């Protein structure tokens, strides 16, 4: 498979969750070339619920394991043009990774391969057709508002 011509710059911004808790939003810049390809039409959200520690964030051990999973996922999906990780939300007792994918079947295979070294993880996966990249655009507009305040 081909590597995508995409930026690997990430930004982080605080946001307020639905229940008023702090959510740290980490988003990827430079995805416009991928959006323009019109091949990545499905959004996959992977959620890890955890017992929140101070401020709704994960405890240190859970945070370290989440970062290892994050690295494994990024490394796997940088190899070819199957999926693009666009956002990571952490807070309020859960972490969510957001991907836009060109093939759900290929994503599933590579996702499982990336997480093979880990013991069972408390993950749920949700997929939705989102050819307009509405979730990504909403994340960007909300964080631009926060940054402009």
Strand partners of residue 104: none
Per-residue model confidence (pLDDT) at position 142: 77
pTM over 0.85? The answer is: yes
| Percentage above 90 pLDDT, the chain | 72
- Domains of the chain, residue spans: 21-143
Q: pLDDT tens digit string along 31-86?
A: 999 999 999 999 999 999 999 998 899 999 999 999 999 999 999 998 777 999 99
Q: Please state, in angstroms and rounded to a whole number, the distance separating the CA atoms of residues 65 and 75.
A: 15
CATH architecture of 21-143: 2-Layer Sandwich (3.30)
Per-residue model confidence (pLDDT) at position 54: 80
User: What does the mean pLDDT of the chain come to?
Assistant: 90
């Amino acid at each position: 498979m081909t590597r995508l011509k995409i930026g690997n710059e990430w930004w982080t911004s605080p946001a307020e969750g639905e229940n008023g808790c702090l959510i740290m939003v980490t988003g990827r810049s430079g995805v416009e070339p991928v959006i323009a390809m019109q091949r990545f039409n499905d959004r996959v959200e992977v959620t890890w619920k955890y017992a929140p520690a101070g401020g709704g964030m994960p405890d240190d051990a859970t945070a370290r394991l989440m970062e290892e999973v994050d690295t494994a996922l990024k490394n796997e999906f940088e190899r070819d043009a199957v999926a693009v990780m666009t956002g990571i939300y952490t807070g309020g007792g859960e972490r969510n990774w957001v991907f836009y994918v060109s093939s759900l079947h290929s994503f599933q295979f590579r996702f499982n391969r990336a997480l093979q070294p880990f013991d069972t993880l408390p993950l749920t996966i949700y997929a939705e057709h989102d050819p307009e990249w509405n979730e990504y655009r909403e994340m960007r507009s909300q964080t631009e508002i926060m940054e402009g305040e």
